[in-house]
Structure 1
Amino acid sequence: MTTGAGGASPTRSMSDTYFHDMYAGSDDPWGFAERFYERRKYALTLASLSAEHYPHVFEPGCSIGVLSDQLARRSDRLLCTDLSPRAVELATRRLAHHGDRVRVQIGDLLTDWPDEEFDLIVLSEVLYYLDPDALDGLLERLPASLSSGGEMIAVHWRHEVAEYPQSGDDVHDRLRHGPLHHAGGYRDADLRLDVFTARAGPSVAQRENLVP
């Protein structure tokens, strides 16, 4: 999500009503299915992943499931959650053609974090809804949620949004000092993207024996 929809926690300074009201006014309040900005962001996100396919993927704050649809094509199983019942309803419709290997359910980013292990966790436009303490608590949880070769990607809008507890840069600065290994990243005037792994490992070129 880009400028304001998705998973959240009771400790953020924003009310759940904010998210419910946004979907009450529109089925796509941030233009996820329409804007070139979003299509470009999704392309950058997918291109930054270090594997062609992942057995088990988790995407909290999935909104209406536009990125989820693309993640489903790169995974065997995908779990998507969102705080908004309306967003979950719309995502369920969008992802129905993938069958039962994709699950979509209502879930809060912190209080409903699944007790499962994932090969990829996608945190797109959700972490700046958390205050610093809540974010730190989530970061402590991430290592146990990733498989031994697991990967986490975070993508956030960099421009100031007055009502958000943190900026995208605040979030990514904290991530860089978290418990996961930083594997790479990208930033421009609008967005910041960072990839983390459970532990340091070979690059894509090394895995394919292109370099020693």
Structure 2
Amino acid sequence: MSTPTSYFEQMYARSSDPWSFATRWYDARKHALTVDSLPRRRYRSAFEPGCSTGMLTARLAERCDHLLAVDAVPAAVEQVPARDNVIARTARIPHEWPDGTFDLVVLSEIGYYFDDHDLATLIERTVTSLEPGGDLVAVHWRHPVDEHARLGDDVHELLGAVPGLARQARHEEADFLLEVFTRVPPAPRSVAQTEGLA
């Protein structure tokens, strides 16, 4: 069973920042690494499901012309910093998926909350909404948590097996796994290749 929305609602009812994103160095560093892993300098249209209070959203917004950030809990969405290029709204992922396509989708600490069916739906909708050549960044906690349906490594194993996704980068630590995939075709190009260095 996927983690119920009531779990998150209860978390935000107890604290406006239940995971201490605003104060914890672990998360500030991980968010910085996530944004630094983006292969392109700039993205036209990005999507961040499960945005929580918007700490990562604020960093992503600096690299995106347009960014859609959603979360299932209104109390979380209300805290997303207001920016001209960011739309923050409530949506229950993976079933309330936005229309249109994106050249960047960021799955940060979200995949392990879903059971097999919902995770398959999440991955299918992510890949379908990615433009050819678009990038998918996935980053997940690696330790077991009672409220998680699976380990973060399991999410990345499934992503790595998806036809049409080519892994561009992998950053592995004891606590989290960060990977960047590109939708193919066209064949992926490294940052150095894109800038004519290789």
* TM-score bracket for this pair, using the shorter chain length: over 0.9
What is the TM-score when the length of structure 1 is the normalising length? 0.89
Which deviates more, 59-68 or 179-188?
Answer: 179-188
* Equivalent residue, structure 2, for 1:188: 173
* Equivalent residue, structure 2, for 1:38: 27
Q: C-alpha distance in 2, partners of 1:201/1:170?
A: 24
Q: C-alpha distance in 2, partners of 1:33/1:68?
A: 12
2:107 to 123, 132, 136: 123
2:131 to 147, 152, 167: 147
Q: CA deviation at 1:141?
A: 2.3
1:85-104, aligned counterparts within 5 Å? 85-91=74-80, 94=81, 96=82, 98-99=83-84, 101-104=85-88
Q: Give a deviation string over 1:103-145, Cα, whole Å, max 9, x none.
A: 0000011111111100100000001000122212222222320
Whether the 8 Å CA contact 1:132–1:166 is kept in 2: the answer is: no
Whether the 8 Å CA contact 1:61–1:81 is kept in 2: the answer is: yes
* Equivalent residue, structure 1, for 2:189: 202
Q: Which amino acid aligns with 1:107?
A: A
Would you say how many aligned residue pairs link Structure 1 and Structure 2? 195
1:1-212, aligned counterparts within 5 Å? 12=2, 14-91=3-80, 94=81, 96=82, 98-99=83-84, 101-179=85-163, 180-199=165-184, 200-211=187-198
Structure 1, unpaired ranges of 5+: 1-10
Q: Percent identity?
A: 47
Aligned to 1:90, the other structure's residue is in SS state coil
Structure 2, unpaired ranges of 5+: none
Q: C-alpha distance in 2, partners of 1:136/1:195?
A: 18
What is the TM-score when the length of structure 2 is the normalising length? 0.95
Q: CA deviation at 1:47?
A: 1.3
* Equivalent residue, structure 2, for 1:4: none
Bigger share in helix: 1
Q: CA deviation at 1:22?
A: 0.4
* Equivalent residue, structure 2, for 1:6: none
Whether the 8 Å CA contact 1:184–1:196 is kept in 2: the answer is: yes
Aligned to 2:27, the other structure's residue is in SS state helix
* Equivalent residue, structure 2, for 1:8: none
RMSD after superposition? 1.1
